[in-house]
């Protein structure tokens, strides 16, 4: 399956807008996206998100300020800059417009992201959510979709995991034999292919060490999502998220007469593109791929 994850399942993720810019907040990544046009993906910049501005339930922009609603505390935070938490103050706190995945505002209009439909991912523009005064509906550019939780499933395709046979070892004689050789396997993630999703982004992150490789982090989260949103519901934390390289490994086997062994490597990807090549091999005498998933379930 494919889909954008609804707001109620991704706390601290939201849309908002101030003046000429749109923002997508990702508290889980510790950063936010700024852009001037989602349809054409203009002026995209990624900024670090101040800790005091993280994990809000809703983020809105109005009057040149950001408003962050914390429903559990029954408060909202007002600030002029989410990167520095400047001038911060914390205060108490039509059916067609109720099903948005995310909501945001600009001085003269309100917006919300519509659920995925046969038309893809679209956003609504209007002047009054109470009276459903809709002025336009636009599609969302793929460069923007890639930053959304679940967005990679829309632009690349849903996650998959397969075992690949990287070597078959045979003893076709009638006597036992020792097989000892180096094998070459690919380990890490396909950074070259994944870099295509950020070609229109200007990334300006300074505080989060993890975000130095934002590509890998986005892919890692996508694989952890449920299949409902194009993920595999697996954790890849213990795998290598360095750029994929060829690794040599020395192997020695004692093969019985007429015995055949199969070396399998697990890889996961999006759509039809492999993204992550797992480091461990599975060796057995079955010609069919293993059925188990070697990665733990996502928490």
Measured distance CA(70)–CA(133) in Å, rounded: 28
Calculate the CA 88 to chain-centre distance.
30
**What phi and psi, each to the nearest 5 degrees, are found at residue 145?**
-55, -40
Cα 231 versus chain centre, distance: 9
The whole-model pTM stands at: 0.75
pLDDT for position 209: 45
Cα–Cα distances in Å, from 147 out to 33, 141, 223, 293?
A: 8, 11, 14, 27
Query: What pLDDT shows up at residue 214?
Result: 86
pLDDT of residue 177: 94
pLDDT in tens for each of the 299 residues of the chain?
Answer: 788 898 888 889 999 989 889 999 999 999 999 999 999 999 999 999 999 999 998 898 877 889 887 877 877 788 999 999 999 999 876 778 777 788 887 777 778 899 899 899 999 998 777 778 899 999 999 999 999 999 999 999 999 999 999 999 999 999 999 999 899 999 999 988 888 888 888 888 764 544 458 888 999 999 999 999 999 999 999 999 999 999 999 999 999 999 999 999 999 999 999 999 999 999 999 999 999 999 999 98
Residue ranges per structural domain of the chain: 7-155, 159-198+216-284
How many other CB atoms sit within 10 Å of the CB of residue 222?
Answer: 26
Rg (CA), the chain: 24
Alpha-carbon torsion, ordered 270, 275, 279, 281, to 10 deg: 50
pLDDT at position 208, please?
Answer: 54
Calpha distance 253→154 (Å, rounded) = 44
Helix, strand or coil for residue 295? coil
């Amino acid at each position: 399956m494919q889909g954008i994850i609804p707001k109620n399942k991704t706390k601290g993720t939201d849309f908002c807008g101030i003046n000429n810019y749109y923002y997508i907040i990702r508290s889980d990544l510790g950063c936010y996206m700024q852009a001037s046009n989602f349809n054409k993906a203009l002026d995209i910049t990624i900024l670090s998100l101040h800790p005091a501005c993280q994990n809000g339930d809703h983020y809105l922009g109005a009057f040149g300020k950001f408003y962050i609603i914390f429903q559990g505390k029954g408060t909202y935070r007002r600030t002029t800059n989410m990167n520095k938490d400047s001038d911060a103050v914390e205060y108490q706190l039509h059916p067609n417009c109720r099903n948005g995945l995310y909501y945001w505002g600009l001085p003269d209009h309100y917006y919300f992201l519509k659920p995925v439909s046969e038309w893809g991912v679209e956003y609504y523009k209007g002047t009054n959510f109470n009276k459903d005064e809709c002025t336009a509906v636009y599609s969302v550019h793929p460069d923007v979709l890639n930053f959304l939780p679940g967005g990679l499933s829309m632009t690349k395709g849903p996650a998959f995991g397969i075992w690949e046979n990287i070597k078959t070892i045979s003893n076709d004689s009638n006597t036992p034999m020792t097989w000892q050789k180096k094998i070459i396997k690919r380990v890490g993630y396909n950074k070259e292919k994944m870099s295509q999703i950020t070609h229109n982004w200007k990334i300006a992150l300074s505080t989060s060490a993890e975000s130095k490789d934002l590509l890998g982090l986005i892919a890692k989260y996508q694989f952890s999502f449920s299949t409902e949103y194009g993920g595999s519901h697996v954790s890849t934390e213990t795998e290598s998220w360095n750029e994929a390289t060829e690794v040599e490994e020395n192997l020695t086997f004692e093969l019985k007469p007429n015995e055949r062994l199969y070396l399998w490597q697990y890889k996961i990807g999006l759509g039809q593109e492999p993204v992550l090549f797992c480091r461990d091999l599975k060796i057995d005498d079955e010609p069919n791929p293993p059925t188990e998933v070697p990665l733990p379930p996502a928490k």
